[in-house]
Amino acid sequence: MKIHEYQARQLLLDAGVPVPRGEMVESVAAAQSAARALFASGSRQVVVKAQVHAGGRGKAGFVKLVRTVDEAVDAATFMLGNRMVSVQTGPEGIEVHKLLIADAVEIAHEYYVAVLVDRGSRTNMLIASAEGGMDIEHVAATRPEAIIRMPLDPVRGIAPYQAREVAIRLGFRGKAVAQASDLISRLCTLHRSLDASMVEINPLVLTPPTSSDPDGKVMAIDAKFAFDENALWRHAEVEQLADPQEADPAESRAHEFGLSYIRLDGNIGCLVNGAGLAMGTMDIIKLHGGDPANFLDVGGSASEQAVTEAFRIILSDERVEGVLVNIFGGIMQCDRIARAIVGAARTVGFRVPLVVRLEGTNVAEARTILEAAKSDIPVMQTASDLSDAARKIVAAVGAGAAA
């Protein structure tokens, strides 16, 4: 589960990590008064930032530094009125409903710091770089030596000497070392105590020296946090930060009906019971040269209504050019699926080829139901086994694309 920057900033602030002053707003008028308040209380520059669950905002033009209230209003009007297209959104872009209006800090240098669960090394990993900012992906891809990786003890978390070592390797000097290592330690603690899968600060900045801070000040000016959904039950405070406006509507609907649904990039919709079988189905589609449009596990005991909803979700995705139903009836009875298929044909309508492979409990009854419905659902074919099913749907979709 992802949260917004403005929410992550609050968590950082509560954990004692310095962030610039700022306020979340949802309208141009509110952006105007937030900017006015910042300028009135001494800000020389203000930053207007889109609050969306996607990065790459700076390069997309959705992070704007402004010097007057009027400029803030223009930036807010633009961001709330246009979809943001960044490297992380896909060409259709995403709507922006919320903005962060914050104090713009002067930046002497931008760093990158993150803590994530690293499956490769099977532990939490602190990752840092002195070359933070908007090109970190490029740095990571071309100069991996510029990225510091520090594995963390899963039980003890970060030790003070480790935080200090990273701060020094990043190039912090003087009083900034203590500030940076303190911030790094707090970030590691936050990652662990909130069961986050990732906490990322990019950029972490050092401000230019002033008479009161001769070594500069260390601050977090962007924050991206993601949480382990399996641990949300013990973090009500995190769960309530979910923003329904940011969720994929199909994924939210699936969740409501107890279906596990994840959108993918292909064109073959899959309806399967059991996560393992769903993964196997996706693999076999790939093996036969196709591309799954989704992962969908209706579970062991889905009702007919939930299965109908599953069809509705799959068919509402306009990229879907064919549907493969693969059910192994254990607890799930095949006749229930068959009835749901007939019901879905009636209420939703199949506009694309459908291949059905059923096996297990009540399969004979299910076959009879499907056989009787064949003339009503001309796009339907049945398959004898999984390979046959995969071959048939890949061929049907290929034929559709060629036509």
Residue 134 interacting with ligand ADP (CB under 6 A): yes
Q: Which of 17, 75, 80, 105 binds ligand ADP (CB under 6 A)?
A: 105
Residue 79 interacting with ligand ADP (CB under 6 A): no
CB 373 within 8 A of CB 345: yes
> Where in 85-104 is the site for ligand ADP (CB under 6 A)?
102, 104
Which of the stretches 52-60, 149-157, 165-173, 334-342 binds ligand ADP when contact is defined by CB under 6 A? 52-60
> Where in 217-246 is the site for ligand ADP (CB under 6 A)?
221-222
For residue 116, give the amino acid letter: L
* CB count in 10 Å sphere of residue 388: 14
Spatial CA neighbour of 296 closest among 337, 353, 246: 337
Ranked by CB distance to Mg ion, the top (closest) residue is: 222
Q: Which of 4, 24, 80, 133 binds ligand ADP (CB under 6 A)?
A: 133
105 binds, among ligand ADP, Mg ion, none (CB under 5 to 8 A by kind): ligand ADP
**Could you tell me the smallest distance in angstroms from the CB atom of residue 59 to ligand ADP?**
6
**Interface pattern 266-305 for ligand ADP (x via CB under 6 A):** ----------------------------------------
d(CA 310, CA 102): 42
Name which of 2 and 49 has its Cβ closer to ligand ADP: 49
Q: Using only C-alpha atoms, what is the Rg of the chain?
A: 26
d(CA 203, CA 224): 10
Name which of 51 and 382 has its Cβ closer to Mg ion: 51
**18: which 2 tokens?**
């310095």
- 138 exposure class (CB count in 10 Å sphere: 0-12, 13-18, 19+): exposed
Cis, bond preceding 203 (omega within 30 deg of 0)? yes
Q: Which of 18, 56, 258, 343 binds ligand ADP (CB under 6 A)?
A: 56
**Could you tell me the smallest distance in angstroms from the CB atom of residue 200 to ligand ADP?**
9
d(CA 62, CA 78): 9
- H helix intervals, 288-378: 304-315, 334-347, 363-373
- 210 exposure class (CB count in 10 Å sphere: 0-12, 13-18, 19+): exposed
d(CA 108, CA 200): 20
d(CA 31, CA 69): 9
**Enzyme catalytic residues:** 112, 200
**Could you tell me the smallest distance in angstroms from the CB atom of residue 134 to ligand ADP?**
5
Residue 216 interacting with ligand ADP (CB under 6 A): no
**Could you tell me the smallest distance in angstroms from the CB atom of residue 150 to ligand ADP?**
22
Which residues, listed in sequence order, are joined to residue 226 by a DSSP beta bridge? 2, 198
Name which of 191 and 224 has its Cβ closer to ligand ADP: 224
**Could you tell me the smallest distance in angstroms from the CB atom of residue 202 to Mg ion?**
4
Residue 35 interacting with ligand ADP (CB under 6 A): no
Residues that bind ligand ADP (CB under 6 A): 20, 47, 49, 55-58, 63, 102, 104-105, 107, 110, 133-134, 202-203, 221-222
